[in-house]
Structure 1
Amino acid sequence: MKSLVRAPSSVGAMNRVCLLLLVGALLALPWADLALYPVDPWQELGRIGHGLLLPAWDEPRILLEAVGQTVAFALLAVVISAPAGLILAMLFHWRLVRVFCATIRSVHELFWGLIFMQLYGLSATTGLLALLVPFAGMFAKVFAEIFEQQARDPALTLAPGLAIGKRYAYTLIPQALPALLSYTRYRFECALRSSAILGFIGLPTLGFHLETAFKQGQYAEAGTLLWAFLVLIATTRFWLRPWLLPVYLPVAAWLLPDTIGFSNGGYFWQFVSEDIWPATLRTGDLVGTLDWYGRMLSEQVWPGLLQTLLLTQLALVLTAGVALLVYPLATYALAGPLLRWPGRFLLLVLRSIPEMVLAFVFMLLCGPSGLPAVLALALHNGGLIAFLIANASDAEQQASRQRPDDPRGLLRYAYIETPRRFPALLALLFYRWEVILRESAILGILGITTLGFYVDSAFEELRYDRAFLLIAVTALLNVWVDAVSRRLRHWARPEYHARLRCRQPYRAC
C-alpha cells in the first residue's frame, strides 16, 4: 500500500518562523532591562499633549534655518550616495564589494557622525559623510536586488565583451528605472529622519532644537518642531521634483552650517593608525593587549551586546503586532473611504517621527530603561510596515472589484486581508530587522545600556580605541543579523516551497 507525503508548505514555514521569533522574544523578556521608574507620566503626557495642540515658536528664522539645514543634509547626501550605490550595485557580484557595502551600512549614521566629528569637528563635512557613507551601502544592496529581479533576455542581444557599464545602461537600468526612482524617493524620506537626528550629536538640524526643547520642558516649542517635521515629510511628493534639483542643490550647499571646531583632515592618519588601537597593541605588548580585550569583552562588549540583542528581539515581535493592529485603520477595504484618512494620518505620524525622538519622549514617561527603546522601535517600524501593507491593500482593491458575498469587518480582516498581506508583512519585517538592530544599538546615546551607551561614553572620554572596538562589534552583529534575516526570508517565501514541491511533489512510501 502506498502513502503520499507532501513537501513542506509555505504556510507551515511561515508559522514556524513566526513561532521562532515569538519564542525568542519570550526568552528575552526576563533578561531585558524593562524596568519602570517612579515618574508621573500622566502629568508629563498632559504637558506634551498641550504643547502639541498649542505649538509656539518665538524665533521663526531659527526654525526655518533648522528645517533648511535638515533638508540640505538629506538632499546632498542622497544626490551623492545614490550614484555611488548604483556603481557599487553594478559590481555587487564581487564578494569584496558585497562585504564592503555590508560593513559601511551596518554602522549607524550617528556612529559615523561621532567618528567623523573627531576628524572634521561639527561641520557640514561631518554631517554629509555620516549620511552618505551608510546610504551608499544601502543603495548598493537594494539596487542590486532590483537588478536581480529584471529580465535577462535583453542582454542576449548585446555584443560579447561589452563593458559592464554599457551592459547595465542598455538593459537593466532602463527596465529597473521606475523601481530605482521609487526607492530613491523613499531613501530621501529616510535621509530626512536621519538628518534630523544628527542634531543629537550637535549639528544644527531639527533634532538639535528638539532635544533642547524636550530637556528644558518647552513642549510648545517641541510641538512646533514636530509639526514642522511632519509637514515636511507629508509634503515631500509635492515639492521634491526632479526638474527642480538644479535649483535645490546650490541652495542646499548654501544652507549647510558653518564649522564649529576643526575642519581639516590632517588628523586623519593619526586617528586611523594610532588613536583607534589600544596602547598595548601599538607597543607590542601581547599579554597586555589580550588583557585589555578580555576586560573590554567582559565589562562592555558582552553587556552591551546582550541588551542590544534582547531589545531588538522584543522590538521585532512587537513591531509585527503593531503593524497587524494598525494597518486595517488605513485601508479602504476595512476602514472605508472616510475613516481610512485618520488611520493614514496616524501612520504618517508613526513612520515620520524618528525612533530617537520617540524614545526620548518615552524616557520622560517611563524612565531610563530599555522599555522606551522597545516602544519607540515598535511604533516607528510597525507604522512604516503598516503603511506599506495598507498601500498594497488599496492597490489591490482598486484593481479588482469586491464580491457581494465577501465578509466584512473582523471576518474580512481575519480571513481575507491578513492572510493575503502576511507574506509581505513577514518579508518587510525581516528587512527591518537589521534596521531595528542598528537603532537599538544607537539608542544607547540616550542612556539605555546597549552598545551605543558604551560607544558614546568612549567618545566622551576620548577613548577612541574602545569606541572603535565597540563599533566594529556592532557592525559584525549587523552583518550577522542581515545574513540570518535573508536566510529566514528566503525560507519563508512561497516560491521557495513551490520549487520544493516541483522537485518532489509526492513520493511513494
Structure 2
Amino acid sequence: MTLTLPTLLRPARSTALALVQVTLILIAVALICIPFADLQLHQVDPWHELGLIGYGLITPHWSDVTVLVEAVGLTVAFALLAVTIAVPLGLLMAVYFHWRWLRMLAAAIRSVHELFWGLLFMQLFGLSATTGLLAILIPYCGVFAKVFAEIIEQQPPQPGATLDPASSRLLRYAYSLIPQALPSMLHYVRYRFECALRSSAILGFIGLPTLGFHLETAFKQGQYSEAAAVLWLFLLMIASVRYWLKPVLILPWLLVSIWLLPANPVPVSLDLAWQFVSVDLWPSSLRSGDWAGFGSWLWRLLSEQAIPGILETLYLTQMALALTALIILLLWPLASRRLVSGPAWTGGRFILLVLRSTPEMVMAFVFLLLFGPSGLPAVLALALHNGGLISFLIANGSEIDRHQQQRPDDPQGLLRLAYLENPRQYPAMLALLFYRWEVILRESAMMGILGIATLGFYIDSAFSEIRFDRAFFLIIITALLNIGVDAIARRLRQRYLPQTSRSSDNELT
C-alpha cells in the first residue's frame, strides 16, 4: 500500500470519538421522538394505587395453592419442552446456515413475538398445549440457529482437517466444530431457558393457564396481595433455576412436563386448518386476483393502521433504548464487586434479579394502572427490564478480572467508576444495547396487546374482529420492521464496536 501525504496527515480514527458519536446519535434520536410519542399521563395522582400495590408486595397471599402449583407446572412445562425441541432443530439449522434461504427463514420466524405466534395458533388449536409449545418453539428455533451458527463460526477449523474431505457437512460439524462449541452453546441454552420461562408466563395474557394469566387477573381485580404472591413465586423460580434444573434432573422434569400438559379441548379439523391457512389469512381481493382491489385494501391497511403503528412503535423503541442506557450506567456499578461489597452488592444483585426476571409485559401492566393508557408505561417497562438484564451482564464482566493486581495510584470510589470502570465497560454496554435494539422493538410492538397504540394494538384488534387477513399482514409488517432494525443495529456494531460485536451477539438475544 502506498502512503500519500494526505493519508499520513489524516488522523487515525479514535475509538473514543466513535463511541461519543454513536452515543450522541442515540440521545438525539430519542429526544426527537419525544414530541411525537403518546406520553400523556391520564392519572394525575397515582400514589394511592401505588400504595396499594406496595402493600400487596409486602403481604403476598394466595388462597388456593393447588391452582398456583398447576400454573407453575404449566409455565415450566411449556418452557422446558419448547426449548428441548428447539435446541436440536436450531442446531441442525445452524449447520446449514450458509444457505441464504435458511438464514432468511430464521430471521423471519424469530422476528415475530411469541404472543403473536400464540394469537395465530389459537385460531387453529384454541387454548391448548399445542398453542403454547408452538408459540415458544418456532421463534426459538430461529434464535438458536443464529446464535449457534455464530458460536460455531468462532471455533478453530484445525480439528476438521483430520477428517476425510469427502465427509458430509453434517459429519464434519458433528465430529469437529460442535464438540468445541458445546460449552458455549450449553451456556446460552441455560440463559435462553430463563427467557423461555418469561415467554411462557406472559402467554397467560392471551388466556393460556400459566402464571401470567393469574397475575393479570389479580391485577385487573385489584387483588395486589394475590398478584404479589404470583410475582414473588415467579422471581423465586427464575433465581433458583440452577438448583432445580440440574443436568441429572432434566429427564425427570421432561417426563413431568409431558404429564402436566393439558389435552387439546377440541380436536383439530384438517379442513378448518387448511381453510385458515389458505383462505382466512388472505384478503378476498387477492384470492380472486383483483389486484386493484387488493391495492386499495393494502393502502387502507397501511395508512390507517400499519404506518401509525410503525411510527408509535419506533418512537417508543428509541426512547426506551436511550433510557435503558441511562439505567445501565446507574445500576451496573451497584452489582460489581470492583466497586461495592457486602450488603450494597447484595442489594444491587437483588435489584437486577427483579428487573431482569420480571417480564416487560408485567411491568407495563403495573405502570398502566399507575399512569393510564399511553406509551410511557411501555417505555419504562422496556427500559427497566433491559437495563437490569444488560447491567447484570456488564457487572459479571467487570468481575472476571477483579483479582488482577491493581496499580497503587488507581482511583477509588466515584473517581474509579468515572475514570476506570465506565470507560472499560462502555463499549461492551453499547454493543449489548444495540444487540437488544431489535428485541426492544419486538417487545414495543407486543405492548399493543395492553392497549398501547403500537403495531400489536392493531394486530390484537384484528384478531378480536376476526379479521385474520389484516392481522396476518400486520404481523408480516412487524417481522419486516424487526429484520430491518436488526440489520441497522448489526451495521452499527460492526462499524463502531468491531471488537465487542461478536462476543455480545453470543451473550444474549
**With structure 2 as the length reference, what TM-score do the two structures score?**
0.95
Could you tell me which amino acid in structure 1 is paired with residue 440 of structure 2?
A: I
Q: Is the Cα–Cα contact under 8 Å of residues 431 and 500 in structure 2 kept in the other structure? A: no
SS in 1 for 2:401: helix
Note if 1:441 corresponds to 2:445.
yes
Where do 1:360-379 residues align within 5 Å?
A: 360-379=365-384
SS in 1 for 2:298: helix
Q: Is the Cα–Cα contact under 8 Å of residues 122 and 261 in structure 1 kept in the other structure? A: no
With over 3 angstroms needed to count, the CA separation of the structure-2 counterparts of 1:496 and 1:416, relative to structure 1, is closer
Q: Is the Cα–Cα contact under 8 Å of residues 76 and 252 in structure 1 kept in the other structure? A: yes
> Cα offset for 1:480?
0.5
CA distance in 1, matches of 2:173, 2:300: 50
> Cα offset for 1:403?
3.1
> Cα offset for 1:288?
1.5
Could you tell me which amino acid in structure 1 is paired with residue 435 of structure 2?
A: Y
Could you tell me which amino acid in structure 1 is paired with residue 422 of structure 2?
A: T
Q: Is the Cα–Cα contact under 8 Å of residues 441 and 482 in structure 2 kept in the other structure? A: yes
> Cα offset for 1:337?
3.6
What residue is the counterpart of 1:324 in the other structure? 329
Could you tell me which amino acid in structure 1 is paired with residue 135 of structure 2?
A: A
CA distance in 1, matches of 2:301, 2:312: 16
Could you tell me which amino acid in structure 1 is paired with residue 150 of structure 2?
A: E
What residue is the counterpart of 1:155 in the other structure? 160
CA distance in 2, matches of 1:386, 1:322: 8
The answer for unaligned runs of 5 or more in structure 2 is 502-509
CA distance in 1, matches of 2:371, 2:265: 35
> Cα offset for 1:6?
2.7
Where do 1:94-493 residues align within 5 Å?
A: 94-261=99-266, 263-398=268-403, 400-493=404-497
Could you tell me which amino acid in structure 2 is paired with residue 147 of structure 1?
A: I
What residue is the counterpart of 1:507 in the other structure? none
The answer for unaligned runs of 5 or more in structure 1 is 498-509
SS in 2 for 1:397: coil
Could you tell me which amino acid in structure 2 is paired with residue 34 of structure 1?
A: L
CA distance in 2, matches of 1:7, 1:256: 60
CA distance in 2, matches of 1:495, 1:75: 34
What residue is the counterpart of 1:58 in the other structure? 63
> Cα offset for 1:341?
0.6
SS in 2 for 1:350: helix
CA distance in 2, matches of 1:380, 1:261: 37
- What is the number of equivalent residue pairs in this alignment? 496
Offset from partner CA, 1:36-67 (integer Å, 9 cap, x none)? 11343111111111111010000000010001
With over 3 angstroms needed to count, the CA separation of the structure-2 counterparts of 1:466 and 1:108, relative to structure 1, is same
> Cα offset for 1:153?
1.8
Q: Is the Cα–Cα contact under 8 Å of residues 428 and 500 in structure 2 kept in the other structure? A: no
> Cα offset for 1:129?
0.2
**With structure 1 as the length reference, what TM-score do the two structures score?**
0.95
CA distance in 1, matches of 2:407, 2:65: 53
CA distance in 1, matches of 2:432, 2:270: 40
Offset from partner CA, 1:315-366 (integer Å, 9 cap, x none)? 1111111111100011111112431010000000000000000000000001
Could you tell me which amino acid in structure 1 is paired with residue 416 of structure 2?
A: R
Q: Is the Cα–Cα contact under 8 Å of residues 119 and 262 in structure 1 kept in the other structure? A: no
Q: Is the Cα–Cα contact under 8 Å of residues 368 and 448 in structure 1 kept in the other structure? A: yes
Q: Which has the higher contact order (CA 8 A, sep 6+)?
A: 1
Q: Is the Cα–Cα contact under 8 Å of residues 79 and 200 in structure 2 kept in the other structure? A: yes
CA distance in 2, matches of 1:13, 1:263: 56
With over 3 angstroms needed to count, the CA separation of the structure-2 counterparts of 1:430 and 1:213, relative to structure 1, is same
CA distance in 2, matches of 1:459, 1:69: 25
> Cα offset for 1:170?
1.6
CA distance in 2, matches of 1:38, 1:443: 19
CA distance in 2, matches of 1:494, 1:418: 19
Q: Is the Cα–Cα contact under 8 Å of residues 120 and 265 in structure 1 kept in the other structure? A: no
> Cα offset for 1:151?
1.1
> Cα offset for 1:456?
0.2
| Mean CA deviation greater in 339-348 or 3-12 | 3-12
| Mean CA deviation greater in 341-350 or 276-285 | 276-285
Identity, % of aligned positions:
63
CA distance in 1, matches of 2:464, 2:158: 56
Q: Is the Cα–Cα contact under 8 Å of residues 129 and 261 in structure 2 kept in the other structure? A: yes
With over 3 angstroms needed to count, the CA separation of the structure-2 counterparts of 1:230 and 1:495, relative to structure 1, is closer
What residue is the counterpart of 1:11 in the other structure? 16
Could you tell me which amino acid in structure 1 is paired with residue 165 of structure 2?
A: P
